[in-house]
Amino acid sequence: MAYTVLDLFAGGGGFSTGFQMARRGDSRFEIIKAVELNEDACNTLRNHLGENKVIEGDLTKKEIKDRIIAECLGVDVIIGGPPCQTYSLAGPARSGKPEMREALRTDPRNTLFRHFFDLVGQIRPRIVVFENVEGIISKQLDTEEELSKKQQIAIEVICDELESLGYSTRIEGDLVKRYQVLNAVNYGVPQQRKRVIIIANNQNQLNPTLDVLNYEIDQTLLQAIGRLPVVLPEISVSRMKSLINLNVITQNLEKSLYAFVGSIKNLKDTYKEQPEVNSDEFNKIIRYFDECLPKLLSKKYKKLIYLEEFLRGYNNLVKKYVERHLAHRQSHISREHNIRDVVMFSMMKPGSSSAQFMNKASLFYDKFLDELYPYDRTKHVDTYVRHSWNKPSNTILSHMEKDGLKFIHPDQPRTFTPYEAALIQSFPPDYVFSGGRNAQYRQIGNAVPPLLARSIGEAILELLENMDR
């Protein structure tokens, strides 16, 4: 039995992918249509769902909305999470349900919410799955009790809207709560990631509570990306002279460069069984360090000019390494980093952050890294985060398209590649994202982790079977 699904605000396809993975006996899902505005994300969807299943366009436009309704009437399930502006739904001037409900219906910043509910009301699916995080919860959660009173009211307003359309949001085993806060790490995803999920049905059934899956081994970064080919970053030199705190590097050039070079050389032992670190291309990089670094450090004058020359030579060798060993994995190539950041990456301990290495009371305090830190400490102290192999990742964010400094690799002096981010999100290894690197990061960071979506889908399959009976 194949139950049909309409995916609204489909993005790069995380929700759809998870629902396609879901199985319960002979029951499964078929994605009828996926609706998305972004061109790169639509190309990703077409690659995985097929050309005829993707509607590219703005669902607030009448012609797009009419097409969705015409092609999806009778669909079993609508899934989606319209972007929400927390400040417009739960702003200081709106303290209770009536005010927030009016904001949901009339505030122009919540247009997508209104059109989401309009489509639900006209298509009349049997089940609606509403997913959100950025618009409903404005901070990372440790427990669902940390939702502020206004945030809880905002969620209740959304449940009220679904109830007004004839959908029950009641959850089995709970007489009060109508939403669930799920952490993806509890469903096989190697990542701490909270999501608010509302399940609603139009047959007045109790909606399923998603049980936490019991894994014998915690999901860790090592399991997710620990055996991938080693990736080396190129180091930008074009605007190096304007780099903030470059003087700290030049005044401590030997310490800085030996930290970076040492981190590369250590990869020979850490990954000694992997062919790429035993290749001619990798060995040439090591020989280059051995031959050219002492010459650089012996210079008494114009050190910055010789540093640029040294880094250009390294970059040329990295290009050859990438061409030989990573050309077939275009999404598993590092972005370019500046020399300051690469030195910081090399010196940071796995599992540490800049908030720790600048804190004199912390075991991770490092005077040199403290001096190197380039950002305003009154606004940002946790800018740099180096991950640990034996723990799940922090929440993968679309912000990775800008710098990725919160996602430093555990033992390679660089940030996560798009391919690593996708695996941490639990996308299948052969899943391909369209667009450039930034477009890929955006799609990956905004996605619902497929393994979390699969667990939701399997609970929905059971609900549909019960409704059929």
SS3 at position 267: helix
Of the CA atoms within 13 Å of residue 421, those in its CB half-sphere come to: 33
Enter the DSSP assignment of 58: -
Q: Which amino acid is at 247?
A: N
Residue 95: CB atoms within 10 Å: 13
Is position 42 annotated as part of the catalytic site? Answer: no
Dist CA 156 CA 179 (whole Å): 8
Residue 84 has which token pair?
A: 């929400």
Give the integer Cα–Cα distance in Å for 380 and 354: 9
Q: Decide: 430 and 230 in contact? Cβ < 8 Å.
A: no
Query: Among positive and negative, which fits the CA dihedral 335, 188, 159, 41?
Result: positive
The span from the CA of 186 to the CA of 163, in Å, is: 29
Is residue 468 helix, strand or coil? helix
* Cα 167 off chain centre by: 31
Phi, psi dihedrals of residue 413, rounded to the nearest 5°: -75, 70
396 closest CA partner among 429, 420, 430, 431: 420
**Angstrom distances, CA of residue 72 to CA of 5, 52, 455, 465:** 9, 13, 24, 21
Query: What six digits make up the tokens of 400?
Result: 């990775």
Burial class (CB in 10 A: 0-12, 13-18, 19+), 369: buried
Positive or negative CA dihedral for 350, 278, 416, 237? positive
Tokens of 40: 């790169």
Among 42, 72, 84, 159, the one annotated catalytic:
84
Name the token pair of 93.
């001037």
Q: What is the DSSP letter of 367?
A: H
Query: Residues with catalytic annotation?
Result: 84
